[in-house]
Structure 1
Amino acid sequence: MWHPELQSSQLPIYERLVVAMARDIQTGQLAPGTKLPPQRDLAFRLGVSVGSVTRAYAEAERRGLLSAHVGRGSFVRGTLPTVPDVPTIEHAVALGRDRSGPIDLRCNTPPPVPLMVDLNAALVALMAREALDPAVHYIQGAGLPHVRAAGAQWLTRQYGLDFDAGDLIQCNGGQHGIALVFSSFCSAGDTILCEASTFYGARMAANHLGLKLRGLPMDGEGLLPEAVDRAAAETGSRLLFTLPTLHNPTTRTMSEQRRQEIAAVARARDLLILEDDAYYAYSERPRQIVSYAPERTLYLASLSKGICPGFRLAFLALPPNLPRERLMQGIRALGYCPPSLGALVFSQWVADGRIDTISQAVQAEATVRWDLARSVLGDLVAPAGARRSAHAWLPMSALEAERVTARLLRAGVEVTPPDASLVSPQADTGLRLCLGAPEDREILARAVAVIAEVVKGHGGADRDGII
């Protein structure tokens, strides 16, 4: 009977069990075809929960380490797949052809972790409590009270923020929250201040609503306070949209002093702030801007980037005295009511603590992927404002970014178009790589190896002028 050695680590138990399994397969201790112990037996011998073992087996199967057969058990598949260190362009093209399509690094999602066991457990618990009924009905107003209460608990535990549940609006994802604020506090033709490069979804929302974005210059910490002050005076804008933590796309993070300075400018110019903190979970937990300007900051936290994008769930925290009539009208106009099934599952995960375990698993996987990308790409990657990030930023000229994007596509890797986030000619240019998009680490390793080869110029850059 296999008895794995679980090494001391900050990783969740299930992840440590998967690591032990991979190690033992690599060393030959687990030969191909070996039947693994029943989950309950292994849990008893290791002194861990059955749920942890179940989750480990599910993750190991997803990674191709084992195969499960109903009624027979779980069996070791074979040796671990190998990943070339730095393939040539020709080999990269072949890799792309061998797959169903190019490796897609465009969609900025959390790295995938097994969620089906947790989803099933939540649904069982909700059914046992007869708490699923709201999932088939319209939900009026700002969302289900107990979901907003769960959101307040989650924001306290994960973000260190103390919001009253009554000040939260349950949104259909972060994009809905952005559109809701833009449409509620701006009129067609108004100007919204933002970073010189910004979240593509904000650009889409502003364009759709007939609003102008004024992109402001940044330094290594992000948005410059003096630029905000000057632009507010010039445009008469009433709203600042900012991503202060692991900015998308540049991964820059504002220091606490910078956040205080931005808050002071907003107060002096009577600006509302929409603080989009989509990537806060990956950060070193700096104090948010809302901590320094709570009376004028609308704080947006979404599950899409740190837990699960498919739930389409975000929470918009409002200043207590902010007028809400336009927001309530906007909720009905832009979506009528929030979807509730994913929100009910979320509330169950908060209640039983699974949300914390899932978040830890996402962060552990994000750390591995970030380290993998940095180990291959080295100094090509801009230093992030945290020890890990869901996306990496490769600074380069606009022309070089366009050329590299085209070469990568021919080599079987698809990245975010270089101009997708640009708002101002002052914006820093480069390429964003979404590290959570590939379904497993092997695919990501192949992609970053190809990127390193292409960006370093092997296979074409020195021949651009030849005819």
Structure 2
Amino acid sequence: MPVNSFDNYPMSWRPVKAELASPLYKGLAAALERDILSGALRPGTKLPPQRELADFLDINLSTVTRAFKLCELAGLLRTVRGGGTYVAFAGEGVPSDGSEAGIDLAMINPFDCPDIIRETIRAVAAKGDFLMDYGYPLGSPRQREAGRMWMGTPDEVVIVSGGQNGMAIALSSLLRPGAKVAADEFTYPSFLDLAASLGLSVIPIPADEEGMLPDALREAGPFDAVYLMPGCANPTGLTMGVSRRLATAEAAGDALVVEDDIYSFLLPHALPSVGALARRYVAICSTSKSLAPGLRIGYMSFSPELRDPLVRGIYNINVKSSPFEAEVAAELILSGAADKISADKRKISAQRWAIADEYLPPVAGVPGLFRWQPTPFDCAAAEAEARRNGVRVLHAGRFAAVPGVSGDFLRVSLCAEPELSLRRGLTILRDVLARGRQGELIV
């Protein structure tokens, strides 16, 4: 029997031992997965310590450890060293390795243009050994000029190892634990995970069809920073127009604006950077979605007064990014190949969006790699039912900036599967949503 009494003891999760299937570690993992997918355990919830849960259930600590590990590998949990275990903000925390059967409409795996990339890699490989040394820790002049062209900025640009890496450098270099960061109510889960690991407090800001509301942002102050994705935001797909960008930059005031611009290549024409309109900013752009997933190169521009702490952060975290990959990206941009790749991806995205319109109610927005699909019933139940029918999607709660943000939506990826599989998946999802609308599902 348990060593301690748990009567009237607060615990975020209290599984019933008698209901766990055998073997116990798999039964516990299944119960945890069920409660996460049903929404009973919300994203960001801190789970009981493993030793405490083992005592509560009167089972071995190793059983709890194995169960948590299974859920972590499935992308359902995240562990913060020294800070405990939390329900992950997205089911995509661990990339799919193909072991899970079914149709993947969850992962964002942008379309490849392998022939152009392959030719460029061969050309860059012939340039010489200078691409393998420690020179130019911020990127060579040529590589940084390519970054300035790609971002369309007159400000200084430095090379980082992808968008996620750039965001980690910016947040850890410019903010301290306890800092308040305003963000969309539904936003990029990896930003939320990073903010939690750095001890940052996220303030959710409501949005309309153009994204974050400037008046709501102003009223939410004071805050230290604003994180936003102004073009084809993940997961909502919302895009800020020019006037909204100006108003948002003004509403941010003296706060740091962190602009994640990874999906703006999908826009039909360039729009001004929110960050560059703000008083203090860092803008981050990656090549993984716009050019090739394996090209882990990003570009960072910033207000001049932020240069020193950001450069120190790059040295401390990266030393430097891969010069070979940076040169491949530069060659693609300077040769014009990057523009062709992006144009091809916009064309394919529009085609996939039109396919989705055949099966699902239309949604507004720029045709992108994913869509934010309203559900006629509880979105967590919709995700669970779709998964039972062999289709993986992600419900809105996985993107909520804080627990309690409401909204019934599914993020449906249009780029992870071949067209025939996409059509099969959308057919199944359409039927799931129709059954839920007619009250045929128990939610």
Please give the TM-score of this superposition, normalised by the length of structure 2: 0.72
How far apart are 1:189 and its partner, in Å?
A: 1.1
The 3-state SS of whatever aligns with 1:437 is coil
The 3-state SS of whatever aligns with 2:237 is coil
How far apart are 1:355 and its partner, in Å?
A: 1.4
How far apart are 1:462 and its partner, in Å?
A: 1.6
Partner of 2:308: 325
CA distance in 2, matches of 1:241, 1:447: 33
Note if 1:108 corresponds to 2:108. yes
Partner of 2:79: none
Q: Deviations over 1:267-301 (max 9, x none)?
A: xx311211111111112335224476154232221
Q: Deviations over 1:145-184 (max 9, x none)?
A: 22111122233xxxxx2334xx112111111111111111
- In structure 2, which of residues 142, 146, 154 is the aligned counterpart of residue 163 of structure 1? 154
Partner of 2:195: 206
How far apart are 1:196 and its partner, in Å?
A: 0.9
Contact 1:163-1:317 at 8 Å conserved across structures: no
CA distance in 1, matches of 2:436, 2:197: 41
Contact 1:196-1:217 at 8 Å conserved across structures: yes
Note if 1:178 corresponds to 2:167. yes
Which ranges in structure 2 are unaligned for 5 or more consecutive residues? 1-98
Q: After the TM superposition, which residues 32-51 of structure 1 pair with which residues of structure 2 at under 5 Å, given as runs?
A: none
Contact 1:193-1:228 at 8 Å conserved across structures: yes
Amino acid paired to 1:299: A
Partner of 1:154: 150
Note if 1:251 corresponds to 2:242. no
CA distance in 2, matches of 1:232, 1:459: 39
Amino acid paired to 1:163: P
CA distance in 2, matches of 1:290, 1:396: 31
The 3-state SS of whatever aligns with 1:323 is helix
How far apart are 1:391 and its partner, in Å?
A: 0.9
Partner of 1:297: 281
Note if 1:444 corresponds to 2:429. no
Amino acid paired to 1:125: A
Amino acid paired to 2:187: T
CA distance in 1, matches of 2:186, 2:121: 40
CA distance in 2, matches of 1:223, 1:459: 30
CA distance in 2, matches of 1:322, 1:356: 32
- In structure 2, which of residues 335, 350, 361 is the aligned counterpart of residue 352 of structure 1? 335
CA distance in 1, matches of 2:157, 2:183: 23
Contact 1:217-1:426 at 8 Å conserved across structures: no
> Do the aligned partners of residues 353 and 256 (structure 1) sit closer, same or farther apart at CA in structure 2, a change above 3 Å counting?
closer
Larger radius of gyration, structure 1 or 2? Answer: 1
Please give the TM-score of this superposition, normalised by the length of structure 1: 0.69
Partner of 2:14: none
CA distance in 1, matches of 2:371, 2:309: 37
> Do the aligned partners of residues 264 and 351 (structure 1) sit closer, same or farther apart at CA in structure 2, a change above 3 Å counting?
closer
Contact 2:275-2:283 at 8 Å conserved across structures: no
CA distance in 1, matches of 2:378, 2:102: 21
Partner of 1:75: none
Contact 2:254-2:279 at 8 Å conserved across structures: no
Note if 1:142 corresponds to 2:138. yes
- In structure 1, which of residues 346, 360, 383 is the aligned counterpart of residue 364 of structure 2? 383
Alpha-carbon RMSD: 2.3
Which ranges in structure 1 are unaligned for 5 or more consecutive residues? 1-98, 156-160
Contact 1:279-1:305 at 8 Å conserved across structures: yes
The 3-state SS of whatever aligns with 2:158 is strand
Contact 1:139-1:338 at 8 Å conserved across structures: no
- Count of residue correspondences: 344
Partner of 1:435: 414
Amino acid paired to 2:234: N
Partner of 1:367: 350
CA distance in 2, matches of 1:228, 1:443: 41
Amino acid paired to 2:358: S
How far apart are 1:136 and its partner, in Å?
A: 2.6
Amino acid paired to 1:297: Y
> Do the aligned partners of residues 113 and 418 (structure 1) sit closer, same or farther apart at CA in structure 2, a change above 3 Å counting?
same
> Do the aligned partners of residues 407 and 293 (structure 1) sit closer, same or farther apart at CA in structure 2, a change above 3 Å counting?
same
Partner of 1:422: 400
Contact 1:245-1:252 at 8 Å conserved across structures: yes
Matched-pair identity in %: 26
CA distance in 2, matches of 1:107, 1:295: 35
CA distance in 2, matches of 1:209, 1:148: 29
Partner of 2:55: none
Note if 1:462 corresponds to 2:440. yes
